[in-house]
Amino acid sequence: MSLRRKKGAEVEETLKRIQSQKGVQGIIIVNSEGIPVKSTLDNQSTVQYSALIHQLVMKARSTLRDIDPQNDLTFLRVRSKKNEIMIAPDKDYFLIVIQNPSA
């Protein structure tokens, strides 16, 4: 398999693994511009979550940098009554997992 296809397959496998965890409602991968590149949710939800969370990640990053310019975001967890959104930022992308917290 070419490197690109191998990596693509790895990503798919990882997504499947996360998706199979109890309580996981959706997974979205968003690029550095806030554009969703992969999602297990419908289009509308994907676009909505991506935009809102991109904004939130930017805000979390600037909050941390205002406190300490040397510091950076490694993980973000937003819990609400109905679910929990976990955001793992990376260099070029961020991974969003929406789950049911009680599961």
Which of 15/87 has CB closer to other proteins?
A: 87
Segment holding 52, helix H or strand E:
helix 43-67
Stretch that binds other proteins, among 9-17, 24-32, 35-43, 65-73 (CB under 8 A): 65-73
75 binds other proteins (CB under 8 A): yes
CB of 69 to other proteins, least distance (A): 11
CA distance 78 to 24: 14
Check: CB of residue 64 under 8 Å from CB of residue 71: yes
Spatial CB neighbours of 55, under 8 Å, sequence gap ≥ 6? 34
Residue with the two structure tokens 């406190």: 67
28 binds other proteins (CB under 8 A): no
Sites of contact with other proteins (CB under 8 A): 45, 48-49, 52-53, 55-56, 59-60, 63-64, 66-68, 70-83
